[in-house]
Chains A and B, each alone.
Chain A
């Protein structure tokens, strides 16, 4: 396996529309990207940042206007056919032919990768049980719930045993439980099979849970790349925690408490920026209580991707 799954340099893509008056909409501008094999890499950015465009170019569904792109060491322009044998894709809000059952859809997509006869039957069986679809194997796609459709989409994406898997907003439209289940599946896949996973999301928490590294896409370029924690710390950005006190605030060195990136305070109001509010909050409250403080109100505002995006765009 190559050490670099994706290598893109000077990547440009502009969409054109209109017959009479041509409109040009630049989406990717001189984008550079390198993703190592075997990792889960997140492409983050607000809506309209070009995440789907980028992933579609990497998945050979869209041709770039300029630049060089290598996927698994192969050129997306000249060796697309060879790339397609080794990749697959699943997207959120998955859609397949409505009246085909779970099994028929899996068989159809398996055959497109040249699987037939017993190997196909065995692989379909494997996918059906891996994604807990036994009960729904004869259910037409149109009758499945969003969560089941998403499981089928992941099963379809894995039927070909890809070395590189693209997940375009894989938890989009799922309820929190189904979304969490999908995330766990993605992590398990990466750990068990070593498949490289590239996912797009606008959910920072999801990226944090899944991705070893992320790239922030903005203004057509990767604005920053690294682990979310590192990037947050670099910028001093995090979840905002506002605490109101009854009486005097205990005299602690709040800036030095674990996970605190920034701190602002007045007599009865404490404003902290934490790297991760959910995991830090219980310990923080225990320390404040131990120091004799009485908290009357807590307000948590999770870090907003838009804020991160704006910071990186500066």
Chain B
């Protein structure tokens, strides 16, 4: 295997995603407008309800997680959605690339944009709403971000698989999937408030554990002894399963002619 050529193929998707984000006004909205609206509306609500510092942090962690995961996941999903919208999908898949090139390249863009949003949100949470970052420290913050990023990549892979399977009908999942996952993993509330059946589902979502891990720095109880290990193990399992699923979806798309239907 020629490592330089492999790196170039990954870079193809990263560079294209970067250019597209730079040119697209909507990308600025995605990175700043919606996250800030989300953070300020939730932050001001906590003031109105006169919540304590710990509870405010609990809620803000949800807001930070939501926007970070959403942005990073969208970048992974855009890797194929750009081609679906342009009707140029077949030109990518006639080239000697693997899905790992697509995911790693678009993941790089997601990593950069996700990190930018994460840092902006954290900075604003500290400055505007008095969130105490001294408790988790930089290492806690880094681990939390890594967890969020892995969840975003898993969700992005799922979106890509659905787009390859169902074409345009699955596009909406790119915007819906993060909210659904966050709803189930305790966005602004502990998962114990969910109905029991949904609590069982929440236990299968790595994001639940990553948020629990970070919220534990503010004195909130853990549901598992080692949430980080569980979160990362689940993430690895879903990443492997996701890669299998998207490979099957591509095979199915080649059988059913979906690549052609999504091209000119």
Contact = CB atoms under 8 A, between A and B. Distances in A.
Interface string B228-264: 0000000000000000000000010011110110011
A43 interface: no
Given A15-B257, A61-B260, A62-B254, A81 B96 contact: yes
Contact of A115 (B8, B19, B101, B260): B8
B11 A16 contact: no
A230 B242 CA distance: 54
B127 interface: no
A108 B94 contact: no
B95 A113 contact: yes
B44 interface: no
B5 A114 contact: yes
Interface in A93-107: 93-100, 104, 107
State the majority secondary structure of interface residues on B.
Answer: helix
Nearest to A141: B86
A89 interface: yes
A88 interface: yes
B15 A111 contact: yes
A15 B249 CA distance: 17
A88 B94 contact: yes
Contacts of B54: none
A156 interface: yes
Nearest to B83: A97
B9 A112 contact: yes
Interface in B66-112: 82-83, 85-88, 90-97, 101
B2 interface: yes
Contacts of A116: 4-5, 7-8, 11
Identify the interface centre among B82, B92, B264: most chain A CB within 10 Å of its CB.
B264
Interface string B1-35: 01011111101100110011001100000000000
B95 A109 contact: yes
Nearest to A16: B256
A211 to B, nearest CB: 22
B86 A112 contact: no
Given A108-B12, A111-B11, A114-B5, A89 B91 contact: yes
Interface stretch (A52-60, A187-195, A237-245): A52-60
Given A63-B255, A93-B264, A115-B8, A99 B94 contact: no
B100 to A, nearest CB: 13
A85 interface: yes
Contacts of B91: 89, 96, 109, 156
A91 B260 CA distance: 12
A108 B16 contact: yes
B90 A111 contact: no
B24 A99 contact: yes
Contacts of B23: 99
B248 to A, nearest CB: 13
A97 B82 CA distance: 7
A252 B182 CA distance: 89
A59 B96 CA distance: 11
Nearest to A153: B91
Given A108-B15, A114-B9, A97 B86 contact: yes
Interface in A6-54: 15-16, 52-53
A95 B86 contact: yes
A161 interface: no
Contact of A112 (B7, B20, B95, B255): B95
A89 B94 contact: yes
Contacts of A100: 16, 19-20
Contacts of A85: 96
25 contacts: A15-B257, A53-B257, A56-B259, A61-B90, A61-B254, A62-B254, A62-B260, A85-B96, A87-B94, A89-B90, A89-B94, A95-B264, A96-B91, A97-B83, A97-B86, A98-B86, A99-B23, A100-B19, A104-B16, A108-B12, A108-B16, A111-B15, A114-B4, A114-B5, A114-B9
Given A93-B264, A95-B88, 14 more contacts: A62-B255, A63-B254, A82-B96, A84-B95, A95-B263, A96-B88, A96-B91, A104-B16, A111-B9, A112-B9, A112-B97, A114-B4, A114-B6, A116-B4
Interface of A: 15-16, 52-53, 56, 59-63, 81-82, 84-85, 87-89, 91, 93-100, 104, 107-109, 111-116, 120, 156, 160
